Chain A
Amino acid sequence: MADDVWQVAGRSFTSRLIVGTGKYKDFAQNAAAVEASGAEIVTVAVRRVNIADPKQPMLMDFIDPKKVTYLPNTAGCFTAEEAIRTLRLAREAGGWTLVKLEVLGEAKTLYPDMVETLRATEILAKEGFEPMVYCADDPIAAKRLEDLGAVAIMPLGAPIGSGLGLQNEVMIRIMVEQAKVPVLVDAGVGTASDAAVAMELGCTGVLMNTAIAEAKDPVLMARAMRLAVESGRLAYRAGRMGKRRYADPSSPLAGLI
C-alpha cells in the first residue's frame, strides 16, 4: 500500500483509517486499539483541564502526538462561534492548523448544522486553519465547503455513534466524484463491511470511533477495520466487475463430457 498515499493539507498519509479516542475503557486499551488500527491520525477533543486532580493520566501520556497526528475536533459545539473558539485553543495547545470542524444541529441526531458549518469554515480558513469538515451527505453543501477552504469533506454515513452503516451510498459516491479534496466517511460505520463499502465507493478514507471502542474486543475490531479499509481501497482501485441479472458460468462450456 506504500505506493497509495493520500494527502491532506500538504501532508501525506498511508493509512486511510482515522480513529477517535473517545469511549474506551482506559487509555491503555485506547492506545492498543490505535496501534492495531494502523491509524496515523487520531481525533481528540478539547476540554477543560481537571484542576481538582491534575495528576490524572492524560491522553498524551499514552498516544504520542509526535508519532500520531492529533486532529482536534469541535465535538459538542452547536454554533460557529463555539467551534472557532475551541479550535483557536486547540491550535494554541498543539500548534496544529489541521483540525476537524463539526458544528452540530441538535443533540438527538448530532446531525451537522450546515449553515453554521459553512460560516465557521470560511472564518477558520481565513484565520489560516486547515479544516477537515464533518458535513451532511449533500453534494451542493460539499462544493460550497470546498470553495470556502475545507481541506477535506467528511459526510456522515449514518448518525454519530449509531453503527447503522452507510445509509446514503448514492450521495456519497456523487460527493466523491465531484470533490477535488479528499472525501472521508465520518460517522455511522458499525462493522468492518461498512468501512469496506465506504472505501469501495471511492472515499479517500474512513473516520470512526464507536465501532471500535464499543466492540466487545476493541483491539481486534481495530485490526478488522484496518483490513476492511485496505481491502475496500484495493477493490476500488482494482475496479469491480459489472453486475449481471443472471448467472454466467466460470468454467468453460466447451469440452463438456
Chain B
Amino acid sequence: MVYDDTFSITVNGQHRRVPKGITIAELALELGLEPTRVAVERNFEIVPRSTLAEVKVDDGDDYEIVTFVGGG
C-alpha cells in the first residue's frame, strides 16, 4: 500500500493512478474525454451521466468507459 495523494484504479483494463478526491467527470477530463459522449460503468454498475460530476473515484475502482463507434 502506497500512502500518497493518489488512488490506484483500473480504466478499460489498464492500471492508472489518479489524484485522491476527483470525481468521475474529472477523471474523464483528465483522460481527455468529453463526459457527455461517454458512458461509464464503475465496478460493473452503470454510473448515471447526471451524477458523473458528483460521484468520487475510490481506491481500487474498476471503470469501463465506452462510446459509440462505427458498426453494422
Which residues from chain B contact A222 at a C-beta distance below 8 Å? none
Cα–Cα distance between A65 and B69 once the two chains are bound (Å): 12
Segment from B1-9, B17-25, B29-37, B54-62 that makes contact with A: B29-37
- Candidates B11, B33, B37, B66; contact of A47 at CB < 8 Å: B66
Which residues from chain A contact B70 at a C-beta distance below 8 Å? 20-24, 27, 30, 44-45, 59
Segment from A89-97, A146-154, A169-177 that makes contact with B: A89-97
A70 part of interface (Cβ distance < 8 Å)? yes
- Candidates A30, A72, A75, A85; contact of B68 at CB < 8 Å: A72
Smallest CB gap from B41: residue in A:
A89
Cα–Cα distance between A21 and B68 once the two chains are bound (Å): 10
A119 part of interface (Cβ distance < 8 Å)? no
Which of B33, B44, B72: most chain A CB closer than 10 A? B72
Chain B interface bracket (under 10, 10 to 19, 20 to 34, 35 or more): 20 to 34
Q: How many residues of A contact B (CB 8 A)?
A: 40
Which residues from chain A contact B38 at a C-beta distance below 8 Å? 49, 93
Which of B41, B46, B49, B69: most chain A CB closer than 10 A? B69
Q: Is the CB of A49 within 8 A of B67?
A: yes
Q: Is the CB of A43 within 8 A of B37?
A: no
Cα–Cα distance between A90 and B48 once the two chains are bound (Å): 12
Residue-by-residue, is A16-28 near B (CB-CB < 8 Å gives 1, otherwise 0)?
Answer: 0000111110010
Smallest CB gap from A209: residue in B:
B72
Interface of A is mostly: mixed
CB distance from B31 to the nearest CB of A (A): 6
Q: Is the CB of A44 within 8 A of B65?
A: no
- Candidates B13, B14, B41, B72; contact of A43 at CB < 8 Å: B72
Which of A23, A58, A59, A93: most chain B CB closer than 10 A? A93
A238 part of interface (Cβ distance < 8 Å)? no
Cα–Cα distance between A47 and B66 once the two chains are bound (Å): 5
- Candidates B12, B14, B49, B68; contact of A45 at CB < 8 Å: B68
Q: Is the CB of B11 within 8 A of A60?
A: no
Known: A48-B65, A90-B39, A92-B39. A54 touches B72 (CB 8 A): no
Q: Is the CB of B68 within 8 A of A93?
A: yes
